[in-house]
Amino acid sequence: MFSVRMRASRDNNHISGAELLVPEQEISASVMSLMGRAMSHQRGKPDNLNISIEEINVDINKITSLPLKLLVSDNVEGSKKAAKHILRALRIPQFCIEKAFSLLEMGPANGKSMRGAIVMDMQGNRLEPDKQKGIRASRIDITEEASLELANSLSDKGLSPYYIQIKEALVLASKVASLKGTIAELCWSDDPYYTTGYVASKKMGYVRIPHLKNAGEHQGGRVFFVDDIDLTDYIYEMQRSPVLVNRFAGLHEFPDLSNDITGE
């Protein structure tokens, strides 16, 4: 198997990124697909496009995705309140939650979004070595079978137009949640055209939250809330250990937060 990764930017600003785990005979098709995606992104054409191909010489960890839960909200204030409520239920300290939101709202890299994630411990400390880039969850993909299950579930809910965004976010969040020491993840996109985000955890699953920011806002990113980790090992597993989602855990509606907030 090979890891095929794409990163596209313009004027040193991130436009798009994606990655796949594919057999050797699918490398060429995968490269063309990722290039086409980069060159047709609604955020504009990149002036810098990188494609990397790396052979995977270790066992690939096969996991079941987090269950996908759809939270109902129609405004930014309610969505942020709900996300904070979920994080508190996961026992993330309030000051950590507020710091995480402030960083993503203002831009954690001197007012700009980071390519990777913030890593925050339960004392509110940022642990990522590079505060401009963060750390990335990499070498991830989903099988065709699990992907089809997800696509069918989304179609039933009228969410097919967001299949790509949901699929890639769910796969990433599932890897993050599977790592020892991860308590939760908070994320919303830096894409000004996409305002949906999520809170994810092993305990509660992937909770998709619409309207976590206003349309047109460029700030976004992700925060990994962690506890009792060896940072070197954690970063290595996040960035180097290959993970393939081979089963979709299902989709559930989440309209009444009070009935599902404990995850029990």
The amino acid sitting at 102 is: S
Q: How far is CA 142 from the centre of its chain?
A: 14
Q: Tens place of pLDDT for every residue, the chain, 264 residues?
A: 999 988 887 777 767 778 899 889 999 998 988 888 778 766 777 788 889 999 999 999 999 999 999 999 989 999 999 999 999 999 999 999 999 999 999 988 887 778 899 999 999 999 999 998 999 999 999 999 999 999 999 999 999 999 999 999 999 999 999 999 999 999 999 888 899 999 999 999 999 999 999 998 888 999 999 999 999 999 999 999 999 999 999 999 875 554 444 443
CB atoms inside a 10 Å sphere around CB 95: 11
Neighbour order of strands in the sheet with 205-209: 118-120, 221-226, 182-188, 197-201, 205-209, 68-71, 251-254
User: Rounded to two decimals, what is the model's pTM?
Assistant: 0.90
Rounded-to-integer distance, Cα 65 and Cα 58, Å: 21
85, two tokens:
């409520």
